[in-house]
Structure 1
Amino acid sequence: MGTRESVYNKEHAKQYDANDSFRSYRDEFYLQSGVIYMDGNSLGLMSKRAEENVHELMESWKAYGIKGWTTGKYPWFFISEKLGEMCAPLIGAEKNEVIIAGSTTSNIHQAVATFYKPEGRRTKILADELTFPSDIYALQSQIKLKGYNPDEHLVRVKSRDGKLILEEDIIAAMTDEIALILLPTVLYRSGQLLDIKRLTAEAHARGICIGFDACHSIGAIPHYFSEWNVDFAIWCNYKYLNGGPGSVAGLYVNKKHFGIHPGLAGWYSSKKDKQFDMAHSLDVEESAGAFQMGTPHVLSLAPIIGSLEMFAEAGIENIRQKSLKLTRYMMDLIEQELTELGFSIGNPNEDDRRGGHVCLEHDEAIRICKALVDKGVIPDFRPPNIIRLAPIAFYTSFEEVWETVEILKEIVTEKQYEKYGMERNVVS
């Protein structure tokens, strides 16, 4: 993929596809005719297995009624734990360290309510200025609930260039005033992958509890949270994991914390065999299950089953290698065909520092995104000037990557974007 001839050639793209071991998985997804979907880092496409699993869980309700809690292929009472076990290999966790429950934000609240224990000089939470807003909102709320001022007690590591966060700057901010750290595994705009292992070791060396928001990495990048001794992690399941809009989220808690009382206890925090004793004293489950609060959203959990089956078949390491090949191919095409048209790449170039999407920058990004959609390419826009493009291992072809770059070139060369306004859509 080094020369113009080998990269910028549709026939070579077709050849890459012919040799792709993942090509059969395209048939597993509902792909729209005439549409190139490059937004799987925001919402993954619907799989046929997901559809089947929804019908299967609906049928269990029809067939069993209340007996469905303990009867059928996927008894509802244990479904969050079962999915946690299936998800654990994606993050390098033991099966009882993962629970599929709640939402991303409710799980942040749960984790912070549990592990943020301000005492003495250690009263502050460390985050970064480029993280997703929901994380900041939740952290500010939790700080207020402890009686502190978020303006003073939420420390946000500065970016030197507005794109990336240097690990050295994060480590320098790990002072003796920090009680808890919450960072993204991958920055949602630039796609930078942080050195999770290093940051965890540095935090623990200073006696600080550390957790990660893995929304923009799970399903695209293998992690080893247990081996790295990460304290906790949260994520959504509707991006690379294709769990559907509003899909139930995930929570990892290192087993060293088992047995502690969850900060936000609920009906499902109980040991399973004690839950229906109806006691008013909580007998805390000794697994990640202790950190779920309410009854599992059974029908919303259903699509995740088929998705995790595919991940088990394909293997997260293989998925990562396919993802890296796709993004590298896209970056090579961009470098050779678009840089003279005002485009630049904002994500790190190195494989070990790059997530699953390409961060493409252009001053006219918002109008270019609108033009792309009208031409059948689905990207997403992130202010101020970012076009995020995510070729997905399971269902994106190399030919589609080639075609996307061709369309981008045409939009800018012919100034087709000029007919669109600068206003942002409600959902972008």
Structure 2
Amino acid sequence: MHSHTLMYAKTLDEKDRLSSYREEFYLPADKIYMDGNSLGLLSKRAEKTLMQLLDSWRTLGIDGWTEGAHPWFYMAEQLGERMASLVGGGKTEVIATGSTTSNLHQLAVTFYRPSGKRTKILADELNFPSDIYALKSQIRLHGLDSESELIRVTSDDGLTLCEERIIEAMTEEVALIVLPAVLYRSGQVLDMEMLAKAANEKGIPIGFDLCHSIGSIPHELHDWGADFAFWCTYKHLNGGPGSVGGLYVHEQHFGKEAGLAGWFGSDKSKQFDMDHTMTAAADAGAYQIGTPHILSAAPLIGSLEMFEEIGIEKIRLKSLELTKFMMGCIEEELQDFSFGIGNPKDASRGGHILLQHEEAARICQALKAEGAVPDFRAPDGIRLAPVALYNSFEDVWQTVQILKRIMADETYKQFKNERGVVA
């Protein structure tokens, strides 16, 4: 059977052991959703637990902190325990708290202690801007120059990074390393084990941004020796817009004073003593700052059930099959239209495809108008994320057919080649 036909896509869907989970989600009517790497879809389970938490506020008032099916006072720790397997951390090494950037600030101010020769932060030129903004501001807080003290490892192709080059940059001047696990544009998965081992050998603390990797690929952060990590939960974890983030701290650092202290970082048995001398939690909970965002964490209670039922390894396997099928369809159907595939074609790719085209912005608008929801990344990137939990192989085939029609009929020319306010 030809491998890039609608019939073959249907055959793959019939064999797909995860296909039943598609029914768990609210799929946009008459649309093919390929933007789960920016915002995952709402599931019925996430909706249910959100409503349960809302009801606990309605019926219990302040007693919701300690009563009900999901007492609010312990939610951050319980969700952290449940996310631990997704990052390869111990149950006490993970906490649900804050946002991506607030967690990065907390971890950077805790682990970045410039002294003597060691004053620089090592990052990369392809990282998401928010991480770079945060790291620059941390350098400035120490009275240092953010341009000269932030090292950004360069890329030869503007898409991928070379791990050996990153390791070469781990010099005696580096005080902290912060890198993405999966690059947000190209989807390249960095060899975190190699990088963590090198950093450990050189005595430099290293942390990873897991925003595009958690829920998409397996991790073994504890065994790899990563010092810390941070992430959002609204992409592959389907926690909803602005859902609470998460962080991991290796147990070897338990007892290390958090750079930014706050009441909810207390030992829970001591928190309400109201003592002005803080007794910090003995685990990752110590790195919380503010009161847990209960209603923004509630959808995760339901969403994480599916990851626990399936296991991240099976999710990863289907994800690789979906993206492989998509690349095959693209190469066969779009060869006449000057598209490039910017993501790694081997297993070092994450959960999305990067299509490149000089008319990318208007092509994305045309795709949306035709019922396929992509994601534009300047200057020339079309990100397409077939998500294992709710996208089918037929979705992939149909998306490529829509792209082919847009290009053949030149309907994309009806749109301006510029991004929207939110891209």
TM over 0.5: yes
**Counterparts of 2:203 and 2:252 in 1: how far apart (Å)?**
15
Query: Which aligned pairs between 1:195-210 and structure 2 lie closer than 5 A?
Result: 195-210=191-206
Instruction: Note the C-alpha offset of 1:340.
Output: 2.5
Which AA in structure 1 matches 2:416?
Answer: G
Q: Any idea what SS the aligned residue of 2:195 has?
A: helix
Q: Please report the TM-score for the alignment, with normalisation by the length of structure 2.
A: 0.99
Instruction: Note the C-alpha offset of 1:252.
Output: 0.4
Asked whether 1:135 is paired with 2:145, we answer no
Question: Of the candidates 241, 246, 251, which is equivalent to residue 237 of structure 2?
Answer: 241
**Counterparts of 1:8 and 1:310 in 2: how far apart (Å)?**
29
Whether the 8 Å contact between 1:260 and 1:284 is mirrored in structure 2 is no
Instruction: Note the C-alpha offset of 1:127.
Output: 0.3
Corresponding residue of 1:149? 145
Which AA in structure 1 matches 2:14?
Answer: A
Asked whether 1:395 is paired with 2:390, we answer yes
Corresponding residue of 2:325? 329
Corresponding residue of 2:361? 366
Corresponding residue of 1:426? 421
Which AA in structure 1 matches 2:228?
Answer: F
Asked whether 1:109 is paired with 2:85, we answer no
**Dislocated runs of 4+, deviation >3 Å:** none
Q: Any idea what SS the aligned residue of 2:92 has?
A: helix
Q: Any idea what SS the aligned residue of 2:138 has?
A: helix
Which AA in structure 2 matches 1:359?
Answer: L
Which deviates the most, 397-406 or 337-346?
Answer: 337-346
Which AA in structure 1 matches 2:166?
Answer: I
Question: Of the candidates 169, 189, 194, which is equivalent to residue 193 of structure 1?
Answer: 189
CA deviations 1:32-66 (Å, max 9, x no partner) are 22100000000000011111111100111122111
Corresponding residue of 1:171? 167
Query: Which aligned pairs between 1:334-413 and structure 2 lie closer than 5 A?
Result: 334-351=330-347, 353-413=348-408
Whether the 8 Å contact between 2:355 and 2:382 is mirrored in structure 1 is yes
Q: Any idea what SS the aligned residue of 1:6 has?
A: coil
Instruction: Note the C-alpha offset of 1:6.
Output: 2.1
Instruction: Note the C-alpha offset of 1:120.
Output: 0.6
Whether the 8 Å contact between 2:4 and 2:325 is mirrored in structure 1 is no
Asked whether 1:32 is paired with 2:39, we answer no
Which AA in structure 2 matches 1:317?
Answer: E
**Counterparts of 1:263 and 1:6 in 2: how far apart (Å)?**
58
Corresponding residue of 1:86? 82
**Counterparts of 2:4 and 2:94 in 1: how far apart (Å)?**
43
**Counterparts of 2:358 and 2:417 in 1: how far apart (Å)?**
11
Whether the 8 Å contact between 2:50 and 2:295 is mirrored in structure 1 is yes
**Counterparts of 1:6 and 1:224 in 2: how far apart (Å)?**
38
Instruction: Note the C-alpha offset of 1:385.
Output: 0.5
CA deviations 1:280-313 (Å, max 9, x no partner) are 1111111110001011011111001111111000
Instruction: Note the C-alpha offset of 1:147.
Output: 0.9
Q: Any idea what SS the aligned residue of 1:89 has?
A: helix
CA deviations 1:159-212 (Å, max 9, x no partner) are 111111100110111110000000000000000000000000011111100000
**Counterparts of 2:218 and 2:359 in 1: how far apart (Å)?**
34
Q: Any idea what SS the aligned residue of 1:96 has?
A: coil
Asked whether 1:63 is paired with 2:59, we answer yes
**Counterparts of 2:182 and 2:335 in 1: how far apart (Å)?**
25
Question: Of the candidates 199, 204, 211, which is equivalent to residue 207 of structure 2?
Answer: 211
**Counterparts of 1:276 and 1:230 in 2: how far apart (Å)?**
33
Corresponding residue of 2:289? 293
Which AA in structure 1 matches 2:283?
Answer: S
Asked whether 1:181 is paired with 2:177, we answer yes
Which AA in structure 1 matches 2:292?
Answer: P
Q: Any idea what SS the aligned residue of 1:283 has?
A: coil
Q: Any idea what SS the aligned residue of 2:382 has?
A: strand
Whether the 8 Å contact between 2:263 and 2:271 is mirrored in structure 1 is yes
CA deviations 1:58-96 (Å, max 9, x no partner) are 111122111111111111000000000111010111110
Whether the 8 Å contact between 2:104 and 2:134 is mirrored in structure 1 is yes
Instruction: Let me know the Cα RMSD of the aligned residues.
Output: 0.7
Corresponding residue of 2:261? 265
**Counterparts of 2:280 and 2:406 in 1: how far apart (Å)?**
58
Corresponding residue of 1:14? 10
**Counterparts of 1:295 and 1:6 in 2: how far apart (Å)?**
56
User: Which consecutive unaligned segments of at least 5 residues does structure 2 have?
Assistant: none
**Counterparts of 1:7 and 1:156 in 2: how far apart (Å)?**
42
Query: Which aligned pairs between 1:119-134 and structure 2 lie closer than 5 A?
Result: 119-134=115-130
**Counterparts of 2:27 and 2:419 in 1: how far apart (Å)?**
26
**Counterparts of 1:400 and 1:162 in 2: how far apart (Å)?**
29
Q: Any idea what SS the aligned residue of 2:216 has?
A: coil
Q: Any idea what SS the aligned residue of 1:126 has?
A: strand
CA deviations 1:388-424 (Å, max 9, x no partner) are 0000000000001000011111111111111111221
**Counterparts of 1:368 and 1:62 in 2: how far apart (Å)?**
46
Which AA in structure 2 matches 1:107?
Answer: N
**Counterparts of 1:241 and 1:269 in 2: how far apart (Å)?**
24
